[in-house]
C-alpha cells in the first residue's frame, strides 16, 4: 500500500486580477480518508479543487496529487481521479445507461468490461430500474446518484466532490454519505467541499477556508476539543434582550443564536465564565439558564473566522 499522501499542496494561490481567491493554502491529505473543505460560498473551495484537479493553473505555489505535479501532469492524472461538480454535468437528453456508457467510452474502458461495470453501478446506486430513463427527468437525489456513479465508473484512486449535496433532500444526503464511506473503506481517498456543518462532522479531517485562507485544520473532534474560547450556552424567554447584554461584555468574543439557545464564545482567561455571564444578565434583569458546554463545529467555525470578519 502506498503510504505517501494523496495530496500535498504548498502555498497554493490563485488570483483573478486584483482578487485573491485562494491565498497560500498548505495542506496534506492522507490516503483512504474523507477530507472535508468547510466554508461558505466564495471561500475558495471550488477554486482549490480545480487547481488540484489540474483544471486551473496556480498563480503561486505547487501541488502534488497522487505523486504527480499539477497542472504539469494533469493528463496523466486524469484517469486516476474522479470529479463531481456542484451542478449536474451529465447529458439530460441521454438515458441513465447511455450517460454511463458514454463516460466509459471517454475513459477507453473496453466494451465488455464497460457493460459489466455499468450494470454493477446501476445496481449499487439503485438505478437499475431507471436505466432507460432520461437523466433530465430524474429527481435531485437520483441525479446525484447517477453523477456519483459516473465519477467512480473508472475506479479512481481519488475522488473530488464539489458541494455534491447542495440540491438534495436530507435523506438523499444521508444515503449519499453512506456511499462515500463505502468507497473510502474500499481505499478511495475523497476530498469533499461543503457548507453544511453536519456533513463536515462526518469527515475524518477538515480544512476550514475563509476568503481563500486556510484558518483551521484537523479532525472535527480535535478542532472542537481545542477551541481556544470557552463556549457558554444561554437559554431564556427573551434571547434578544440576553444577546443585547452579552454584546456589551468585553470578554464575549461572539454570540450566535442556535434555535432557542445562544452560544457565547468567551475569551480565554476569564474565571468562571458561566457565572460571570449569569451575573451580567441578572444585573440587567434578564432571566436565563447559563452553563458551560462543549463546543460544536459551528462554534469552531465562528472562532476560526471571526477575526477575519471583524470590521
Enumerate the domain spans of the chain.
7-222, 228-294
Q: For residue 181, what is its C-alpha cell?
A: 464511506
Residue 129 has pLDDT above 60, yes or no: yes
Nearest partner of 95 among 38, 137, 35, 52, judged by Cα: 137
Strands (E), the chain: 7-16, 19-29, 34-38, 60-65, 68-70, 81-84, 158-162, 189-194, 205-210, 213-218, 230-235, 252-258, 261-266, 289-292
pLDDT at 235: 96
Q: Is the fold of 7-222 the same as that of 228-294?
A: no
Residue 143 has pLDDT above 60, yes or no: yes
What is the separation, in whole angstroms, between the first and last Cα of the chain? 49
Mean pLDDT is lowest, of 80-89, 178-187, 299-308, for 299-308
Q: Which CATH class is domain 7-222?
A: alpha beta
Q: pLDDT above 90 covers what percent of the chain?
A: 84
Q: How far is CA 129 from the centre of its chain?
A: 31
Distances (CA, A) of 303 to 110, 224, 228, 265: 52, 10, 8, 8
Predicted confidence band of residue 70 (pLDDT cuts 50, 70, 90): very high
Residue 215 has pLDDT above 80, yes or no: yes
Task: Summarize pLDDT for 156-174 with one digit per residue, the tens.
Answer: 999 999 988 877 788 888 8
- Name beta bridge partners: 241: none
Give helix 170-185 / helix 140-152 axis angle, nearest 10°.
10
Residue 301 has pLDDT above 70, yes or no: yes
pLDDT at 140: 87
Helices marked H in 64-206: 74-78, 96-106, 111-124, 140-152, 170-185, 197-200
Q: For residue 65, what is its C-alpha cell?
A: 496529487
Nearest partner of 138 among 84, 82, 91, judged by Cα: 91
Q: Which CATH number fits domain 228-294: 3.40.50.300, 3.40.462.10, 3.40.190.10, 3.30.70.100?
A: 3.30.70.100
Is there a cis peptide before residue 71, judged by omega within 30 degrees of 0? yes
Q: What is the mean pLDDT of residues 204-227?
A: 96
Predicted confidence band of residue 2 (pLDDT cuts 50, 70, 90): low
Mean pLDDT is lowest, of 89-93, 242-246, 251-255, for 89-93
Distances (CA, A) of 309 to 149, 231, 246, 254, 304: 39, 19, 19, 11, 10
Residue 149 has pLDDT above 60, yes or no: yes
Residue 94 has pLDDT above 70, yes or no: yes
Predicted confidence band of residue 63 (pLDDT cuts 50, 70, 90): very high
Give me the residue label for grid cell 457548507.
Answer: 195
Q: What is the mean pLDDT of residues 255-259?
A: 89
pLDDT at 296: 93
pLDDT at 124: 95
Q: What is the mean pLDDT of residues 209-217?
A: 95
Give CA–CA dist 129/142, Å, rounded: 11
Amino acid at each position: 500500500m502506498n503510504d505517501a499522501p494523496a495530496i500535498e499542496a504548498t502555498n497554493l494561490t490563485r488570483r483573478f486580477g486584483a482578487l485573491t481567491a485562494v491565498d497560500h493554502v498548505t495542506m496534506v491529505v492522507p490516503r483512504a480518508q474523507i477530507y472535508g473543505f468547510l466554508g461558505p460560498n466564495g471561500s475558495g473551495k471550488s477554486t482549490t479543487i480545480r487547481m488540484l484537479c489540474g483544471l486551473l493553473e496556480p498563480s503561486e505555489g505547487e501541488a502534488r496529487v497522487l505523486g504527480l505535479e499539477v497542472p504539469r501532469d494533469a493528463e496523466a492524472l486524469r484517469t486516476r481521479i474522479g470529479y463531481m461538480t456542484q451542478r449536474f454535468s451529465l447529458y439530460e437528453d441521454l438515458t441513465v445507461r447511455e450517460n454511463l456508457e458514454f463516460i466509459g467510452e471517454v475513459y477507453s474502458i473496453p466494451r465488455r468490461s464497460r457493460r459489466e461495470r455499468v450494470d454493477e453501478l446501476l445496481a449499487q446506486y439503485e438505478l437499475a430500474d431507471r436505466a432507460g430513463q432520461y437523466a433530465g427527468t430524474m429527481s435531485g437525489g437520483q441525479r446525484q446518484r447517477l453523477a456519483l456513479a459516473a465519477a467512480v465508473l473508472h475506479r479512481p484512486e481519488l475522488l473530488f466532490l464539489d458541494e455534491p449535496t447542495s440540491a438534495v433532500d436530507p435523506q438523499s444526503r444521508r444515503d449519499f454519505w453512506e456511499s462515500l464511506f463505502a468507497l473510502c473503506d474500499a481505499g478511495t481517498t475523497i476530498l469533499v467541499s461543503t457548507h453544511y456543518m453536519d456533513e463536515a462532522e462526518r469527515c475524518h479531517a477538515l480544512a476550514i477556508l475563509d476568503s481563500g485562507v486556510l484558518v483551521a485544520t484537523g479532525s472535527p473532534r480535535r478542532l472542537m476539543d481545542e477551541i481556544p474560547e470557552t463556549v457558554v450556552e444561554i437559554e431564556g424567554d427573551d434571547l434578544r434582550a440576553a444577546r443585547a447584554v452579552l454584546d456589551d461584555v468585553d470578554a464575549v468574543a461572539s454570540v450566535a443564536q442556535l434555535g432557542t439557545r445562544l452560544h457565547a464564545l468567551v475569551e480565554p482567561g476569564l474565571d468562571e465564565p458561566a457565572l460571570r455571564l449569569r451575573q451580567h444578565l441578572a444585573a440587567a434583569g434578564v432571566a436565563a439558564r447559563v452553563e458551560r458546554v462543549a463546543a460544536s463545529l459551528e462554534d469552531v467555525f465562528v472562532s476560526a473566522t471571526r477575526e477575519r470578519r471583524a470590521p
